[in-house]
């Protein structure tokens, strides 16, 4: 378990290092996750220790939202002042996400039915 956590933290550190070195606008943990994905694809998937550790972390995922909740409480006034822009950003991003997902599903379904004929 310690080795798996060390592996996950190493990829996060690698992502942070790349972000800082290359001045990328993407968060370091996201870059680290992409690097982990590439590593897992090359290896053919995670080993049992990484599976168990990831499962344990996912079981306690709700604890990861405590800092975000504290941040919301700390900046409640600012969120109230910016409520309309936040509302419209959420609505527009949700609609765009649904449209992109629907269009992708439509194109993939059409492509798959074209192959079967």
Nearest Cα residue to 30 out of 13, 41, 15, 17 = 15
Q: What is the model's pTM? A: 0.59
- pLDDT surpasses 90 at 19: yes
Non-local (6+) Cβ contacts of 40 within 8 A are: 46
- pLDDT surpasses 80 at 114: no
**Which residue stretches of the chain are H helix?**
2-22, 28-43, 48-59, 66-74, 76-81, 83-116
The backbone torsions φ and ψ at residue 59, rounded to the nearest 5 degrees and listed phi first, read -65, -30
pLDDT category, 117, cuts 50, 70, 90? low
* DSSP single-letter state for residue 24: -
pLDDT of the residue at 86: 92
Q: Evaluate whether 40 touches 88 at the Cβ level (below 8 Å).
A: no
- pLDDT surpasses 70 at 12: yes
Rounded Cα distance, 98 and 92, in Å: 10
The larger pLDDT score, comparing residue 33 to residue 69, is at 33
- pLDDT surpasses 80 at 115: no
Of 25-34, 57-66, 84-93, the range with the lowest mean pLDDT is 57-66
pLDDT category, 87, cuts 50, 70, 90? very high
pLDDT winner (highest mean) among 1-5, 37-41, 63-67:
37-41
pLDDT category, 100, cuts 50, 70, 90? very high
């Amino acid at each position: 378990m310690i080795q798996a956590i060390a592996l996950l933290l190493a990829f996060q550190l690698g992502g942070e290092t790349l972000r800082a070195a290359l001045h990328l606008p993407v968060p370091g943990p996201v870059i680290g996750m992409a690097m982990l994905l590439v590593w897992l694809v090359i290896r053919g998937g995670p080993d049992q220790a990484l599976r168990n550790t990831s499962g344990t972390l996912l079981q306690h995922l709700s604890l990861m939202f405590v800092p975000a909740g504290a941040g919301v409480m700390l900046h409640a006034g600012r969120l109230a002042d910016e409520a309309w822009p936040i509302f419209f950003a959420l609505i527009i991003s949700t609609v765009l996400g649904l449209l992109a997902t629907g269009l992708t599903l439509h194109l993939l379904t059409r492509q798959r039915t074209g192959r079967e004929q």
